[in-house]
Structure 1
Amino acid sequence: MDPIGLYCLTGRSPRSLRKESQLNVGGEHMSRKPNLAVLTALVCLALAGSALYAQTSFGRISGSVTDPTGAAVPGATIKIINTETQTARTVETDSNGLYAVTNLPVGPYTLEATQKGFQTKQLTGITVIADGRLTADFKLAVGDISQTVEVTAQSGEALNTTSGDLSRVIETKQVENLALNGGNYVELMTLVPGAVVTNPDQFSVTTSLSATNQNINGNRSDSQNLTVDGAFNLVAGSNGSLMNNVNSNFIQEVKIQSSNAGAEYGRTAGVAFNIVTKNGTNQFHGSTFETFRNDKLDARNFFSVQKTKLRYNDFGYTIGGPIKKDKLFFFWGQEWKRLRQNANPSRVTVPSTAMLNGDFSSVAQIFFPGTKNPIPGNNIASLMTPDGKAIAGVFKGQEKLASAFTDANVANNAILQPDNPLNYRQHLVRIDYHINDKHSLYGRWVSDRNSLVDPFGTFSGANLPTTPTLRGRPGESFLLAETWLVSPSIVNEFRINASWASQNIPPYGDTWQRATYGFQFPYVFPAGTGNFRNGIPDVSVSGYANFKGPSFALHSPSTDSQVADSISWIHSPHIVKAGFVMIRDRVDQNGRSSYTGNLTFNSSGNTNTTGNSLADALLGNFRTYSEASADPMGFFRFSQPGAYIQDSWRVNRKLSLDFGVRWEWLQPWYTQANNMANFVPALYNPAQAVTVTSAGTVVPGSGNLYNGLIRAGDGIPSSEVGRVPGSTSSLFGSIPAGAPRGFFQAQNMFSPRFGFAYAATSKTVIRGGYGMFFARPQGNMIFSQLNVPPILLLSQFENGNLANPGGAAGVTAVNGNITAINPNVVNGYSEQMSLGVQRELPKGIFAEVSYVGNLGRHLLRQPNINQIDFALNAANAALPSAQRAANATLVPYKGYSNITQYNSDSTSNYNALQVYLNKRKGNIFFTAGYTYSKALGDSSGQGDNPENYLDRHYNYGPLSFDRRHAFIGTYVWSLPRLGTANPIVRTAFGAWQLNGVIRLQTGQYYTVTGNTSIGGRRADYVGGDVLVSGSAQTINNWVNRAAFANAPDNRFGNAPVGNVEAPGLQTYNLSVSKNFQIKEKFRLRYQADFFNAFNIANFTGLNTNLASAAFGTLPTAYPPRNIQMQLKLTF
């Protein structure tokens, strides 16, 4: 490939190198058009190859033409005219009187059928939707061709008589009228049956850009495929963060393909969620808008002592119209967000001031470390070390930040709500160009910038805001598409797009610095590197909130590029579509290793314990200490070609079949520099195992400390040596190379697709289908392989003191925790199926009842394969504290701590009854969906680390996103205009609109755990009701403690997975709006949105750890009622 074509595919940014809304006017359905790019994309289009991704923003119309007797009328001319742009397509019916038109841009159309000897017939008011298949049948009357009969279609829902996939469309009316919290479009994905919301705080997406607050039809949240005009809109590494959070004022409509989609859909195993941006027309249209929120209008969070600060302004404008009528059109929009708020209340447990000063008189007797000699008065003030005082200083600083603090040794005694400000800007431009009758072009560019102070640290997982971050994340996306009408029966679509996010998340302020608190402990790697080496360590004290230093800071510019080509061939009664796609991803990311140190303090297993974990911390006596030597940089790359073919066969007027197959070559991510390593159990030689002392250190000269490791590829290429520190060292040379560059083999994957639709009557359709969908490997799976020797050294020590965490001079530590990838990993997949009945009911109501199934196979999980044998661990724990051996002596792979290895042996099973009602015409527009489902499996996500990794069935049960019952309803109700009232009354009280979203879900399932002498484990269920009953059940007493007990040391606990159900979710979002006409062309719209309108407290975070004083409590609540107001002027 030429250099520019290669540039396009590698995706280097200039800076860094339908709902089957069929409309049945006589029968079927429809869809819409694409957007602009910049000079770079234009050059790429001209000089690159041809190939992109099949998330279509077009639709098709098909149908039949018959005479008054029902006989076919061959050779009839069908003209399809877009009424907004006046672009037109013309086809003729075949010998069976059938016609089809593909690749129609989204929008309103008029259809006209003519034939000699018959009157001309027009169908008006037809709307094509994204990926929609509209059926429009004509019955011609005998007469003069110059006579025209016009029939106006009734917009709204229609029976789907041509496909068996399960899909929904969120129409413009819903996008414009329903209350979207923070204007975040991802919320639209949750308005369909099968959707489960795991975090209802949609406003948080404004700052987090998270796309993982929901699960659809039993799929994992990182398996979703979000696109804008068909272009991928997620950051490639995680598949869980938005590239661009497109403003709802820029959106035309939304298509959700939730199950058994056609062969053109791929890339991920989950839902395909595509938004279509607005385009210009022959008329100038525009708007300016301002959205306003203020905490003075809001309710107080249930756990807050005062209202959470909130000042929010979202303002901007749009304009679109013709550059040249009937030929060239534009749409342009800009948006700004200014947010000044506190973070959501975090209810945490912190030590009392007395304890932080060394006074432990309020707790059980503590002892001099490693003895049974009691400390007089339980006071250790005189024994506290400088680093212990520094840890106390961190906690004291957090107590000062707390909005509420109970200075006592009780659970959940502090509430933290630090500042969380955001500045944001976005602009979008789209150009549509109808070149001639055979060629049309569109391009689209989206760009946004955000600057966010995240007090808890983005991606840190910290409970305390010790290390705030300043998240700067520009996101760009370019798309260019060309449609070529090769002949009336052949249409080709070529598309190319590139998107990138230049993400940089450094620490902010000074609360993350060692000097702020006086930390003095020496580093194990005094010559180690890392951008924020002067930062505090990560600290976890058993029983209290943890805090993090700055080593998690992220630098991660990422790019996603796609090139695709598809061709549609109409060969009645078949419509055959085939295509090819090439995806290229690029992420340059640091390892985020613990180079400032990672400390755990836990009296369990600590040979130097006082009997109290916090007292241990103040004396500097850690259970474990680990430290990394550097923060390496990875230069990750990924390529994924794919192809598909699908035949849509209209067997007869009642039966339609879809057959297809998709091919994808799924290969792992790799680094250009091959600077990764992997632990492979088959390469571990027990004869070369190191000898580990009872203290957990390695006997010098014994065995091979890096036993079982292998480096990626053929070693570091000579051109990359400068980017990999230490690559010429003897250590690098001592560890063999030769593993696959991504540590497992690429695979050719073929996924069949089938669907059918059978029109049993004119008002009843039976539909169903099956499809296999492969889950591509995510970048997060391999990014941590940077942090494996020899690329990075990570030492771990047990039962030492912070004054000298590495112990005596010359002591060799075991390797710290590492990740690994099983060389036999295969790509996971889901088998999706559905069978349902769709029925047209009176008054424009349509109902659909479906069975929906989803079988997940070969899904990823990440168990610790270096777990200590259960019996051995129990025997060691039974010894007196001073006689216990360190864990490092007991693990099967000596010389290593935890080894969490990705395996592809997880399964899931989803079975659901889904009921869907909708009414899309008249003054009342509504949708209602109910789902009864079970989502069962042995792993809820690829990072799950089970207690017993050798028996995955031990972990089988309800998944973390299993919600047995879920209801979602939306409505848009136009109230009477009061046309006979006087002008003042009519203006003030007439023509209001009432809109809303109702969401009801049952609760999440939790598993009860407890602490034993060998650590935290599954508890025993001893009988009785698991939940407290009646009025005794409160948020501080939700679970019946008497039904559970700690399991004995000689076996695993028998408490079932997920046998405790947390409270459900109830949210009622309500909005009222009214349009005021200002002269002829201007209209002012006022809208007030009430999120959680009835201020229902939805509790979350159920504590099910028997060892915790907070067992059975619900410490947090989702947001209370918030009010948002908007003014929008349109013309």
Structure 2
Amino acid sequence: MTLNSARIAFALWLAAGAWAQTNVGRISGTVLDPSGAAVPGASVLVMNQDTELSWKASSDARGFYVVTNLPPGTYSVTVEAPGFKKFVRSGNVLVADGRITVDATLQVGDAVETVQVTEVVGETVNTVSGEISRVVDSEQVQDLALNGRNYMQLVTLIPGAALLNDDQLALTTSLSTTGQAINGNRPNTSNVTVDGSFNLDAGSNGSQINNIGVDFIREVQVQTSSFSAEYGRQSGASVNVVTRSGGNQFHGGLFEFVRNEKLDARSFFSPERPSLRFNNFGWSLGGPLIRSKLFFFGGQEWKLIRRYTDVARRTLPTRAERAGDFSVRPGGSLNYPGTSQPIPNRNAAPLITPDGKAIAQVYERMERYAVSYMDTPTGNNAIYQMPNPFDARQDLLRLDYKFNDRHNLFWRYTHDDYDVKDPFGTFVVSQLPTVPGNRVRPAYSLQLTHTWVATPRLVNEAKGNAGWHSQRVFLIGQDWKREPYGFQFPQLFAGGGYYPDGIPDVSVSGFSSFRGPTYYVSTSTDISFRDVLTYIRGAHTLKAGFQATRNRKDANGRPPLTGNVTFNPSGNTRTTGNAFADALLGNFRTYVETEYDPLGMFRFSQYDAFVTDQWRIARQFSVEIGMRFQAILPAYAVGNNLANFVPALYDPAKEVTLTSSGLIVPGSGFIYNGLIRAGDGVPKDQLGRIPDGNSPKVLSVPAGAPRGLYKSSYPLAPRFSFAWAPFKNSRTAVRGGFGLFYDRNDLTGIVQGGLPMPPFAESLQYENGNIINPTGGSPTARGAFDTIRPMDPEMKAPYSMNYSLSIQRQLPAGLFLETAYIGNQGRHFMRQPDINQPAFSVLRQNQDLPAAQRKVTNALRPYKGYSQILMRLADANSNYNALQVYLTRRKGRVTMTAAYTWAKTLTDASSNSEASEEPFSRRFNYGPASFDRRHVFVSTFNLKAPTPFKSFALSRAVLGGWELSGIARAQTGPYSSVSANTDIGTRRADYIGGDVKLPAGERTVNRYFNTAAFAAPPPSRRGNTGAGIIEGPGLQLFDFSIRKQFRIREGKTLRFQGDMFNAFNGANLRGLSTNVSSRDFGALTASGPGRNVQLGLRINF
């Protein structure tokens, strides 16, 4: 353990305790006599059947009792009262934050007599609150076929969850939590916890700190709507993973699961089955250290995956084109730069520059890595599928200790090690494998919880949690270096960061791009402390709590230090008419280079408080009322090395003058016009770490912006829910609720926006020049600043308004049905439009001028001296309306769940980074969200086959112990907009008539929709199509698992398991091309993984 780890651990042990999410539940009920009258003063004993720990209560004047703060488990409830027989009901399964009702109708008789009710209770009607929540129980966790053995797949089994990525193995290796969208919320708004403690990297809110192994999980709980004021760090669903604990009996196991491509099928576009070696093995053990007092559970797991990347179809210039001969490419012209004079024989070989030859050499080198290459001037003429190995290890240890009837302690330690090698780079991804990276990510979490039962009616819970990781990405190999290729162009800024000898990023229109090297560091630590007090007074269960969170995130900006070059004939006054010929001659459309790669040491604090009242107004009617307060303080940089662009501070009288080629006229205006620095300057103790932190150029920019660039928020979030049981048998409940849920924006905005910002890190952009001399011959000439991403200083905290109305019904044969209307309104979510985009009319007028008179785009922008200004605005809205139906059976030989969702999610921005052709019109962008799936059906089943001829040992051995389980999924596809390339950029296409959808019998891989219904718009206006007009293909997946259990001896079993993912090898086509100008317009260009087979062996005792 590192020194930093030790410090955090020591701080936790000293802490008074805290709590991020509740991990306990309650059992309540009413004690009645045979006539239905209340029995006051009855003694109630609730006992955990695994640990034999017990809790006591008594019924009040209305016969009502409640026992709170119970850990998940299976419980028995014993009720005794003078003059009545003892009542015992066992098999009551309580989940994390569960609220189950166990009513007791006592029979007149001697107290020594017992009325025993023993059953495995399935899902029960919730008559206590109106929250919408689901639980994936331990049987599903252990028995379902999980691709990659990743628990996040379980989150997709509930109503309202749309699967966004069917490559579950890729989600496993990436640690992502954004493979699904729940109830119309953005994928990165879910709050993921382990045993109630935060388990996300706050940088993206979409990556886990620890990916808990499925063999260490008791259950997964997902709260989706109208839940208690006790929760609220994020605005979306709350996903809580509950780890297993020890009991009074020793239980453990050894397991290994393997996969090999020889058992698999190829995907639709793959020429052959990709190589795969998957080994997942480990052990677990739990039991008592001191019987009925101290319990432990621990285990280790390894995942060793030797796989290949998905098939990547890329476009390379032909070998002749790399030598300058374009005669083989049909159509088009090849002219001398900036003229209409044709180059003889379309052969530019005599004009190739040393740097153009170097670019050709990169493509030459990249051809060698292709699985197949066709030397033809066609798209997608190269196919790549490269090794993508992944190694992971996890250690977990949990202790549960009961000091006495009043004090309990829970402690958990988790450690993960991840090592992933990606041939196309990590986070900064290249289309060609020039920058293979090695992602190394050790991660830890510690949790300590203390429960104090001061009296049977007053309980205090305190929890402390810390989760942290230290992530680095290192380059592999030498393909990222300049020297082997022969690059000669000089860099604008000396140094070049961590990789000064790296190649530039190169993007050639019509061909696959490649990236140069980028250093990556990202560490994260999240510490939270919370105390919750529960007080029972009559029919009221009152809760109040406080939480303090401290987060630290260190990350660098990762700008293009070695240069970023774009070759595109559109708007290029020096073009030959062919983008790759421009590259050979070095005539770029844009060239960008950044001075420094700044490091930001980001910190933020957040304070939350809540109060709730669970009020049982009548025996059949309950409400829960609550209020949550949040102090959301923006993240700031310790060194104050952040800056922001504020339009209100931009002074037109100080604007710079640009030439028609986009260069700033020396001495004209103030180049930092509109910028403001964070805080009151760089602290003295940080000057050695921040380049030029006290230089004249930095000090020329005024200070005084908030340290986090925008204001803090202090919202109040009311919550209300009710539950009404209209019939006395409590088998039916009508439930509803409403609540406000506020979100904390991820740190990506400030890392990518406020950090790589002038004056601390200048990134200059030049247009229409030659790579050997980007500044046009004047060493003092400056281009405009490259893309900046400022924050709106008036940014508000995003929030969603959740509301629901549902009916639950307990059906015969152990079935449970819930039908619900779920609604969600999102407000103030982030988007990033380009507020410096020239008006359409300005672009049109400029393009209509003779070529020699046209200005470059940067000379036309309203804020002079800047290129794109992708302003992070919190003004995006969304709405979600859904019918959700849920049917489940959780007891018996056949158990199942079935979830159907009919929903619509509309928004004007689907993600924080979404820009738009029309930045100032949210109506123009309003349409189906990118994660909208109108119809989603998912079902699970588990069948335990009976043993025929049980009296025969051979029959028991061969025919007994068979089980079959599976997951069936069908959902409609995503929505896309149709675009077209024009002489002033990419715009929406025109709809020109006809049915957009093709009949099912006419759809093909190459023409999925009616392409004849669209055309490029005329030059005079924007296209008339709306957002999300095309619905893509849906998804059908069937995963099965078959198991055979052999009994070795009493208490010991051997289980063989065979899993099939995508068992019927469905194509699951995707990658719909929706650009009218593309040669693939209307085609499906990618597919999901083919059938995979997994074999497993487990010894349990």
What aligned pairs does 1:203-218 form with structure 2 within 5 A after superposition?
203-218=169-184
The answer to whether residue 337 in structure 2 is matched with residue 369 in structure 1 is yes
Counterpart amino acid of residue 828 in structure 2: H
Where does residue 570 of structure 2 map in the other structure? 604
Percent of pairs identical after alignment? 49
The one-letter amino acid paired with 1:780 is T
- Shift of residue 49, structure 1, vs aligned partner: 4.5
* Aligned counterpart, 1:224: 190
* Cross-structure match for 1:254: 220
Q: CA deviation at 1:1028?
A: 4.0
Residues 1107, 16 of structure 1: alpha-carbon distance in 2 compared, 3 angstrom cutoff: farther
* 1:1049 Cα deviation from its structure 2 partner: 2.5
Counterpart in 1 of 2:763? 794
Counterpart of 2:353, as a letter, is: T
Matches within 5 A, 1:634-673: 634-673=600-639
Is residue 2:877 matched to residue 1:907? yes
Q: Residue 484 of structure 2 aligns to which amino acid in structure 1?
A: T
Tell me the residue number matched to 2:352.
Answer: 384
Show the counterpart of 1:420: 388
CA–CA distance in 2 between the matches of 1:118 and 1:976?
40
Aligned residue number for residue 538 of structure 1: 505
Match of 2:362 among 369, 374, 394: 394
Equivalent position of 1:840 in the other structure = 810
8 A Cα contact 1:330 1:429, kept in partner: yes
- Structure 1 position 1035 matched with structure 2 position 1010: no
Counterpart selection for 1:1076 from 1046, 1071, 1082: 1046
* Counterpart-to-counterpart distance in 2, 1:41 and 1:702: 53
Out of 288, 298, 306, which is 2:264 matched to? 298
Match of 2:11 among 26, 44, 67: 44
Which residue matches 1:1103?
1073
Match 1:243 to one of 202, 205, 209:
209
- What's the CA shift string for 1:590-633, capped at 9, x where partnerless? 11011111111110000000111111112111100000011110
Whichever residue aligns with residue 820 of structure 1, its letter is: P
Number of equivalenced pairs: 1095
Q: Over residues 105-158 of structure 1, what are the superposed CA-to-partner deviations in whole Å (9 max), with x where a residue is unaligned? A: 111212111122222111111221111001111111222222222111332111
Work out which of the residue numbers 99, 102, 108 in structure 2 matches 1:136. Answer: 102
**Which position in structure 2 is the counterpart of 1:1060?**
1030
Q: Deviations over 1:393-443 (max 9, x none)?
A: 222222221112222121222221111011211110000001111000010
Cα distance in 2, alignment partners of residues 783 and 756 from structure 1: 42
SS across alignment from 1:550: coil
Taking structure 1 as the reference length, the TM-score comes to: 0.96
1:720 to 677, 686, 693: 686
Would you say the 8 A contact 1:83–1:108 is kept in 2?
A: yes
Shift of 1:1030: 4.9
Could you tell me which residue of structure 1 aligns to residue 434 of structure 2?
Answer: 466
**Equivalent residue for 1:31?**
none
Q: Is the 8 A contact 2:289 2:296 kept in 1?
A: yes
Residue aligning to 1:430: 398
Q: Name the residue aligned to 1:944.
A: 914
For the residue of structure 1 that corresponds to 2:259, the secondary structure is strand
2:709 to 731, 738, 743: 743
How far apart are 1:529 and its partner, in Å? 4.1
SS in 2 for 1:506: strand
SS for the counterpart of 1:516 is coil
* SS of aligned partner of 1:1115: strand
By how many angstroms is 1:1051 displaced? 1.9
Question: What is aligned with 2:468?
Answer: 500
Contact 1:42/1:480 (CA < 8 Å) preserved in 2? no
Which of residues 374, 397, 403 is equivalent to 1:406? 374
Give the letter aligned to residue 83 of structure 2.
G
Residue number in structure 1 paired with 2:1088: 1118
Report the Cα distance in structure 2 between the residues aligned to 1:952 and 1:467, rounded to whole angstroms.
38
Counterpart CA distance in 1 for 2:1097 and 2:1062 is 21
Equivalent in the alignment of 2:785: 815
SS in 2 for 1:738: strand
Matched, 1:757 2:723: yes
Change in CA separation of 1:125 and 1:163 when aligned onto 2, cut-off 3 Å: same
Q: Comparing 352-361 with 769-778, which one deviates more in the overlay?
A: 352-361
CA distance in 2, matches of 1:607, 1:50: 66
Distance in 2 (alpha carbons) for counterparts of 1:954 and 1:238: 28
Q: For 1:891-970, what aligned pairs fall within 5 Å after superposition?
A: 891-970=861-940
Please report how far the alpha carbon of residue 15 of structure 1 lies from its aligned counterpart in structure 2 after TM superposition: 3.9
Match of 2:825 among 817, 835, 855: 855
Q: Secondary structure at the match of 1:515?
A: coil
Secondary structure at the aligned position of 1:901 is classed as coil
1:282 and 1:329 in contact (8 A); partners too = yes
Please state whether the residue corresponding to 1:1042 is helix, strand or coil: helix
The alpha-carbon deviation at position 44 of structure 1 amounts to 2.9
* Offset of residue 353 of structure 1: 2.1
Aligned to 2:311: 345
- For the 8 Å contact 1:41–1:480, the answer to whether it is kept is no
Please state how far the C-alpha of 1:883 moved relative to its aligned partner: 2.4
SS at 1:1077 equivalent: strand
Alignment of 1:156-175 (within 5 A): 156-175=122-141
Determine the structure 2 residue equivalent to 1:889: 859
The whole-number CA distance in structure 2 between the counterparts of 1:781 and 1:979 is 66
Partner of 1:36: none
Whether contact under 8 Å (1:305, 1:404) holds in the other structure is no
Once the two structures are TM-superposed, the CA of residue 1048 in structure 1 deviates from its matched residue by: 2.1
Amino acid paired to 2:791: I
Name the counterpart of 2:297: 331
The corresponding residue for 1:116 is 82
In the superposition, relative to structure 1, how do residues 609 and 108 fare at CA in structure 2: closer, same or farther (>3 Å)? same
- Matches of 2:309 and 2:18 in 1, distance apart? 44
Asked if the contact 1:946–1:952 (Cα under 8 Å) also holds between the matched residues in 2, the reply is no
Contact kept? 1:1005, 1:1060, Cα under 8 Å = yes
Aligned partner of residue 473 in structure 1, secondary structure:
strand
Q: Distance in 2 between matches of 1:674 and 1:959?
A: 36
In structure 1, distance between residues paired with 2:97 and 2:1034: 35
Counterpart residue identity of residue 1075, structure 2: N
1:585, 1:502 → 2: CA distance? 14
Q: Secondary structure at the match of 2:140?
A: helix
Query: Would you say the 8 A contact 2:505–2:514 is kept in 1?
Result: yes
Which consecutive unaligned segments of at least 5 residues does structure 1 have? Answer: 1-12, 18-38
4+ residue stretches of structure 1 with deviation over 6 A? none
Please report how far the alpha carbon of residue 570 of structure 1 lies from its aligned counterpart in structure 2 after TM superposition: 0.9
Q: Within 2, Cα distance between the matches of 1:462 and 1:901?
A: 25
CA distance in 1, matches of 2:407, 2:956: 50
Q: Aligned equivalents of 1:46 and 1:778: distance in 2? A: 29
State the AA in 1 paired with 2:1080.
A
User: What corresponds to 2:70 in structure 1?
Assistant: 104
8 Å CA contact retained: 1:119, 1:140: yes
Partner of 1:25: none
Q: Which moved more, 1:318-327 or 1:203-212?
A: 203-212
| Matches for 1:302-317 after TM superposition, within 5 Å | 302-317=268-283
C-alpha distance in 1, partners of 2:7/2:35?
57
- Return the offset for 1:772: 0.5
Query: 2:546 is matched with which residue?
Result: 580
- Answer whether contact 1:916 1:928 (CA < 8 A) is retained: yes
> Helix, strand or coil: the match of 1:351?
coil
Secondary structure in 1 aligned to 2:224? strand
Letter in 1 for 2:713: Q
Question: How far apart, in 2, do the equivalents of 1:970 and 1:612 lie?
Answer: 54
Contact 2:15 2:464 in 1 (8 A): no
The answer on whether the counterparts of 1:569 and 1:575 sit within 8 Å (CA) in structure 2 is yes
Taking the aligned partners of 2:340 and 2:630, their CA distance within structure 1 comes to 64
Deviates more, 1:150-159 or 1:280-289: 150-159
Question: Deviation at 1:658?
Answer: 0.7
